[in-house]
Amino acid sequence: MAPARGARDMSLLEVEGLSKHFVGVTALDGLHLRVDAGEIVGLIGPNGSGKTTLFHCIAGALSPDHGDIRLNGESLLGLSPAAVCGHGVGRTFQLARVFAGLTALENVLAGQSHREESVLAAAVRGSAPTVRRRARELLEFVGLDELAGERGGELSYGQQRLLELAAVLMGEPRLILLDEPTAGVNPVLVDRLLARLREINRSGITIVLIEHNMEAVMSLSGRMYALAMGRTIAEGAPEALRESPAVLEAYFGAGRLSVRR
């Protein structure tokens, strides 16, 4: 069940009539989406349905042609990625992005919000003890504490995924956008990653994730949106989307979606 909304019926994230066109391509076509605080919302759809373009627009990497994106009622349009991050939006990418030459601990420290010190101070004298302690706690949280001194480029791909998540959490986001977090990750680390995401959500952080691993996204999400050709074609509980003719036609073909129980 979605958390109750306030008197103004305002969700944490509201995407209204969002459109984005490239040369000869309509990536988003009047898309609508709402996410309440405390939810885990999954986005599914075939390749080219607009999922990652939507994330780029929310995070400030792309400017939509039409529509609005609001966080707690405040428009994010025109803000840079750094400014959107400063409003409490963190994100990961389709391919894990870590600093290969930095240690795992340094990677997490790079994600800090610098609320206790300036960026210049951090660069000149190093991070404050409280910030370093927080970074080590996050490495322990994702199970990488014993690898704090290892270079990011020496970690396995699954470990890089977990490291990227720890770095995002270091920025103290209230909303996290996850782009295919389980892609390329071995099953053991997938289970660890999903467990950590549930814990993160229980701590009060809202999560929106794009995911092609249907078992993972349906077990994790309380509510889901299915996209096709830049539009929302279905929205509801995972089980409802599993049975939706529109979703089966657009994403899965004529067959049923099979999810292990």
For the stretch 92-141, pLDDT in tens is 988 888 999 999 999 999 888 654 445 445 544 455 788 889 999 999 99
pTM, full prediction: 0.85
Distance CA 169, CA 178 (A): 12
In terms of DSSP H, where are the helices of the chain?
51-59, 81-86, 104-109, 119-125, 129-141, 157-170, 187-202, 214-220, 238-242, 245-247
Distance CA 52, CA 186 (A): 23
pLDDT at residue number 124: 45
Degrees to nearest 5, angle at CA 202 with 198 and 206: 85
φ, ψ for residue 102, nearest 5 deg = -95, 155
Mean pLDDT per block of 10 residues along the chain (261 residues) reads 43 96 92 96 91 95 96 94 92 88 92 58 60 92 93 92 92 94 84 90 95 89 94 92 83 50 37
What is the DSSP secondary structure assignment for residue 255, as one 8-state letter?
Answer: S
Which burial class, exposed, middle or buried, applies to 105 when counting CB atoms under 10 A from its CB (0-12, 13-18, 19+)?
buried
User: Is the CB of residue 88 less than 8 Å from the CB of residue 176?
Assistant: no
pLDDT at residue number 1: 34
